[in-house]
Each structure stands twice: as structure tokens, then as C-alpha cells.
Structure 1
Amino acid sequence: MRDMVRRGARCAVGLIWGAAAAVVELLFTAVAGLALLAVAAWPAGRRAVLRPVLVCARRLAELDRARLRIWLGVHTSPVYEDTQALGYLACRWTLGVLGAVVMLSAAIGLGYGTSWTYLWLLVDDVRNSASVLYTSLGGLFLLFLAVQGILAVAELEGKLAGRLLGPRHQEQLERRIVELSTSRAAVVDAVNDERRRIERDLHDGVQQRLVALGMLLGRARRSQDPDRRDRLLRQAHDESRRALDELREVAWRVYPTTLDEAGLRAALETVAERTSVPVAVEYDVAEEPERAVATVAYFVVCEAVTNAVKHAAPSRIRVVVRSEGKTVHVSVQDDGRGGADAGGSGLFGLARRVAALDGSLSVASPPGGPTLVAAELPCG
């Protein structure tokens, strides 16, 4: 309820500013139209007049974009042509007038809806109490309709700005092609990096254990002393257990089976249990994300926690996973010494994983800490 009231109040302020801006936009549109009409048959004069008109149109459009962003929460692309700004202003003033009418209706409804309070307080003899009641109810109904109109006009403002100031369809397609090509190349690089990491883990860990195991078994086989043979076999048994533990660790880092068996929350709790530093997990996701999103969210947490423990020497780590609409937000914050390099191999690989889902990854790690790794992953 509080959020709805706050949103309605912000939209109302935005429409009031929009109504004031509509006066300037209407005057500008009329003057610019007359000036261009006067030199329509003169190409050189048309170019001379069009240049300052487009400059003024862009400035007014930027002011209106700021109004939309601050008061209506509408974010539009900063990449648009000056002619698009001129067309936007030529259409936008009509919504400004509509917003003024809606705000005037809201003021009238509020006045009539609360009329019973000051009539009963200021007038000693209110003979027709029924008319006062009907007037108040009518005013409240008009106020209700006006509030709905405020929200509707605010939505129309966002759609108009997105349509007239947004990129054209061809530009959107070209930009999307570039994004898909970049993300595809990033996925290929991430897969290759993951393969190299697995090969390095196997070579430096499991392979060395198996070599040592083979040497111990060979020495035990050649030994003639029963006591020495038993001692070597016990060492070989211990070495085989350590090799098996390291192999399980490598398999866990490649892909945790808990993620498929019990879901993202259980996988994150397992990460917290396996970490030497206390990790607090806050999980607020209504429904289990789809597998691709859950996998990327898991690796974001796992890599961020591993980097923090390895490089930042934190005393505690806080992991927050929550969903808002169709977006899953993941954040990992530690109280370590900071200074994390966002361009490092680990975080850079995470950024490529996130980008493959059209998500975004941000890293804030000033010297002295704290470090915050945050990712936004779209669902559906």
C-alpha cells in the first residue's frame, strides 16, 4: 500500500512537471513549424533554420527524459536522432495537456471528497446533510478515477518516449545480432577456460596422487619385508582416499549434483558448509529458477566466495539471492581487504557466463573492502 501511494505521488509530481513542460513544447513546436514553413521552398534557408531547431529539440527532449527517469521511473535510450526528438516534442505536449486535465480532476475530486469535514466544522446549521454526503461520495469517486488516470497517463508517457525516442527496429535487430555474436564467442571462451581449469586440476591434483599411489604399490610389490610391505600398502590406501576426495572436489567444481537433486538453495547451503569462513545465505526466491539461471547463479556465488576466501581474508561472507518479477538478483559481499580485479580470469569468466543469459555482473571492491559482487539474471 505504501509503495502504491509513493508511486502515485511521484507520478503526480511528474505529470505536473509534464504539464508545465507541455506549454513550452507547444510554443516551441508552433514556432519551429512556422519557421520551417516560411523557408520550405528555400533549401539553404531550410537547412539554416533546421539546425538550431534540432539543437533546441534535443535539449528539450533531454530535459523530458530526465523528468521521465526521476519521477515516472521510465528509462529511455540516450541514442536517438535529433529528428526523433523533434517528432517526440510535437506529440508529447498533448499528453502534457491530458496530464493537466487529470491532475485538475484529482484536485476537484479531493476538494469535493473532503467537503464534509470543513462544512461540518465551519457551518453551524447544515440543513441538507444528504446533499453533503452525496457531494463527498461523488468527489471521492472522481478522485479514484483521477488516480487511475494519473497512472494511465504515466504509462502512456513511457510508451510514447520508448516509441519515438527509442532505437528503430532495424537498429534493434543489428544491436541484438552484435550482442548474440559477442555472447556466443564469450560462451565458447568460457567453455575453453573451464576445460583448461579442469585439466589443470586433474594434472596438479588427482594425477599426482595416482602417480604416488602407483609408486607406493610398486615399492610394496617389490619389497621382501612383510612389515615394510604392510606400511607401504597402508600409505597407498591413504593416498587412494585422498585421490578420491580430490576427484570428488573436481567433479563438484565442474557441476554439483545437488543443484539438480535438491535445487539452488540446497546447493548454496552446501557451498556455505564447505567454506572455511562463515557464510550467511539469504534465499528469497518464490519458485525454483530454470536450470540455466540456477546454474549461473550457483557459479556466481561459488566463484565469488572462493575468490574472497583465497584473496581477501574475510571474517564473514553474506550471500543474498532474491527474485523481483522476472529477474533473479544475486549478491555476495565480504568484509575482506578488497581490491578485487574485475578483469581477472575468475570474475571475467563469470561476467561472460552472466552475459550469455543477457544478464549483468558488477564488482565493487575498493581497497580496504568491502567487496560486493552482484549479478542480475533475467528469467523466462
Structure 2
Amino acid sequence: MKLWKTSVHRLGSVANLGGVPQPRLDRLAALAVRGSRVTAGLALGGASAFGEFAFAVLAALAVAVPATRPRVFAVARALAGFEQWRLARFLGTESASGYSGPRALRYLALRSVVGGLGAGVFLLILWGAVTGAIMLWQLLDGQPLGGGDPVGTDQDWYDPIVVFLFGILLVFLAVQGLIGVAALERLLARRWLGPSEQERLRRRVSELATSRAAVVEAVNDERRRIERDLHDGVQQRLVALGMVLGRALRAEEPGRAGELLRQAHEEAQRALRDLREVTWRVYPVALDSGGLHVALESLAERSSLPVRLRFDLPARPDTATETVAYFVASEAVTNAAKHAGASRVDITVSAGDGAVVVRITDDGCGGAVPEGGGLSGLARRVAAADGEFTVDSPVGGPTTVTAVLPCG
């Protein structure tokens, strides 16, 4: 999977040279990965449908004997467990636990029919591919399509056009068929294997409890960071300023006193810059006045590294989402400058599936640990917003930090 991500990243970089926007490339790559995963899941479901159909027929007869029911229901739950794994792994459909044997058996009986439809679609795709290959060979070889021509042995001028249009129609029908089978798979899973309302409520309560703990921990981390910045930065500047002013008061020569006052003025300016930096990291006022785009532009201007910003949001998100997105970008840029040895940082902000996607990539040495202090704090902050946070940082780089924040 990591090799695929690296390949997509390199292909995106090459395509960007041709002027293709990176957010569009990311969406196309994600769509391709998702489509491949769903197709593989449907193919596996089509293959398993034949065995499940045979089991459902035999089980319908076996349940008439009370002594065989426990074993039949146990096998039904095991097969339903396999389907749960397949749906979660390839189709991303959540499922419940603890369903009864009769419920699992009814699900398998219905799913075997849907799986058979999927197998039929794949067989039609195979038939269409073989037929298309034969027709293409016949066209290239100058033979009449189908191996014969009732009018003559010559090839009509419109044959390539007919073959092309017929192929497009078959591709469209095949794709729509697979989409329909996937929708039926999800519908059956939600109806027969999906979590009950009580289980959904328990999961939501657990998520809220975890989110609340993450919020508290994120606030504590922020307080510790502010205290550390004040102690190591502003406080040290003020101590140095007091010492220089004390020396100026004790100086007997006017020239020496003036030199010390000039040093004190410079130290006061540095203290003000450090204090301004701390207050900006607490909450940048640009978020309120200009929004996330302006705040990220200010972040890029203040960074010690060259930062390239791509901002592609059709509308301004809510303030909470903007705040989390900004701090994810800010902390990632800071880590790239302090620890990664990077020479450039790319920040991409785009929209996708009702969420704001923030992606920060640097060309540093890689090897970032997601459980580290700064990154784990970002993960908690994103989790508190019901978002997803991932870090891809192979040794040698590049490092990519991604946050997907729901909005709207």
C-alpha cells in the first residue's frame, strides 16, 4: 500500500508539470483505489455466492430436523462472519455482532442471489472483453466481423464505428451493473447484519467519551506548549533585558550607558517578536479577519522554509474546522523546519465528500513517528473534530501529513 501511495505521489508530481491541479489528481487516485477495492470485493462475493446458495438450499432442508439446527446455524454465522469481513474490507460497510443463526441464514439466502447477479455481471464483462478482442483482431486483419458477411466478404466502412459504440455501451452497462450490485450488497448488510439502533447509540456514546477525553488532552497539551514557549523564549528575553538595563543603570560612562540602552532596545524588540509569535500560535487573528486562506498565507510568509500553498475550497468552512486545519498545517510546517531537515513544504487544502482535506508534504528525511508529542497532539485535535489523521513518513522521505475534517 505504501508503494502504491509513493507511485501515485510521483505520478501526481509528473502530471503537475503538465498543469494538472494536485487536488484533482488526488481525487482521481483515491477514486481509482476505491474502485479497485470495491471491484475485488464484488468478485470475491460473486465466487462465494455459489457455495452460499448451495448451503442455503441444504440448510432449508436441514433446519426441519431439530437436532441439526445448532450446527446449521453455527455454519451460517461463520459464513456471515466471512461476509462481514469482506464487506468491511472491500466495501467499507459496518456490521454488528451477536446476530442470531436464523438471521444469518436468511441473510445468506438473499445475499447468494445478489452475489449471483454480481457473478453474472463479471461473466458478461469477460464475454465482452473476449468478443471485443476478437472483433478488434478481425478489424485489424481486414476480415468481416463475426467471421462472415451475408452481403459479401468485404468490410463495411461503418463497422469500426459500430464496434466502438457497442463497446462503450457494454462498458457503461457493466459499470452500472457493478454499482447496482454493490448498492444491493450494502443494503442487505445494513438490513440483516447492520448494527441495531441500540448498538449505534452505544458506539456513539463511546465515540463522544473518547472525543471528550481527546479535547481535554489537547487543551492540556496546548497549555504545556504555551508555558514552554513563554519560559524558553519570552521569559529568557525579558531576563536578558532586565540584566542589560541593570548594567546600563550602573554604567558611569555616558557612552557605555548608551550602548547598553541600545542593546536593551534590541532585546526588547526580540522579546516582542517572540511574544507575537506565541500569541499567533495560540490563535491567529487572521482566521477571524480573513479566514483559513489568509491565515495559511501568513503562515507561509512567516515560515523559515519555502512554502507552496494550493487552496481549493469552493466556500469558507466553519470557524472550528478552520482552526483545526490551520493548527495541523502550522505544526506540520514547524516539524518540517525543526526536525525533518526539509528544504520545501507543500500545503494543499481541498474539498472532498463533505470534508476539508489538508495535506502537508515536505522533502525532508522522513521517519516521523505518529506517536510523537507534536503529531499525537494533532491526532487528538483532529479526532476531537470527528476527523481522520494520517502520517506517511518512510525513512528517507517524503513526509505527508493528512487531516480530513468533516464540515457542513
User: TM-score, normalising length from structure 1?
Assistant: 0.77
Distance 1:104 1:338, change over 3 A: closer
The alignment partner of 2:236 has SS state of: helix
Please report how far the alpha carbon of residue 146 of structure 1 lies from its aligned counterpart in structure 2 after TM superposition. Answer: 9.2
The superposition leaves residues 8-49 of structure 1 with CA deviations (integer Å, 9 ceiling, x where unpaired) of 99989977876665444333222112212211xxxxx24xx4
The superposition leaves residues 344-364 of structure 1 with CA deviations (integer Å, 9 ceiling, x where unpaired) of 111110010010011121222
The alignment partner of 1:333 has SS state of: strand
The AA in structure 2 aligned to 1:320 is T
Aligned counterparts, 1:1-380, within 5 A: 21-39=48-66, 45-46=67-68, 49-51=69-71, 53-55=73-75, 57-59=77-79, 62=82, 66=86, 74-77=91-94, 80-81=97-98, 83=100, 84-96=103-115, 122-124=149-151, 151-380=179-408
Gapped regions of structure 1 (runs ≥ 5): 40-44, 112-116, 126-139
The AA in structure 2 aligned to 1:92 is R
CA distance in 2, matches of 1:314, 1:5: 30
CA distance in 1, matches of 2:382, 2:285: 21
Please report how far the alpha carbon of residue 270 of structure 1 lies from its aligned counterpart in structure 2 after TM superposition. Answer: 2.3
CA distance in 1, matches of 2:239, 2:33: 67
The AA in structure 2 aligned to 1:335 is D
Distance 1:348 1:102, change over 3 A: closer
Q: RMSD of aligned C-alpha atoms? A: 4.2
Task: After superposing the two structures, state which structure 1 stretch, 10-19 or 260-269, moved more.
Answer: 10-19
CA distance in 2, matches of 1:313, 1:282: 22
Task: After superposing the two structures, state which structure 1 stretch, 154-163 or 347-356, moved more.
Answer: 154-163
Once the two structures are aligned, what percentage of the paired residues are identical?
52
Task: Note if contact 2:88-2:94 (Cα within 8 Å) is conserved in structure 1.
Answer: no
Task: Note if contact 1:58-1:82 (Cα within 8 Å) is conserved in structure 2.
Answer: no
Distance 1:321 1:223, change over 3 A: same
Distance 1:349 1:154, change over 3 A: same
The alignment partner of 2:305 has SS state of: coil
CA distance in 1, matches of 2:114, 2:369: 47
The AA in structure 1 aligned to 2:397 is G
Task: After superposing the two structures, state which structure 1 stretch, 260-269 or 10-19, moved more.
Answer: 10-19
Task: Note if contact 2:76-2:108 (Cα within 8 Å) is conserved in structure 1.
Answer: no
Please report how far the alpha carbon of residue 368 of structure 1 lies from its aligned counterpart in structure 2 after TM superposition. Answer: 2.6
CA distance in 1, matches of 2:215, 2:263: 43
The alignment partner of 1:282 has SS state of: strand
Task: Note if contact 1:57-1:89 (Cα within 8 Å) is conserved in structure 2.
Answer: no
Task: Note if contact 2:346-2:361 (Cα within 8 Å) is conserved in structure 1.
Answer: yes
CA distance in 2, matches of 1:16, 1:186: 40
Distance 1:18 1:246, change over 3 A: closer
Distance 1:336 1:211, change over 3 A: same
Aligned residues between the structures: 361
Distance 1:159 1:268, change over 3 A: same
Aligned equivalent of 1:114: none
Gapped regions of structure 2 (runs ≥ 5): 1-27, 132-143, 153-167
Aligned equivalent of 1:134: none
The AA in structure 2 aligned to 1:32 is A
The AA in structure 2 aligned to 1:250 is V
Aligned equivalent of 2:160: none
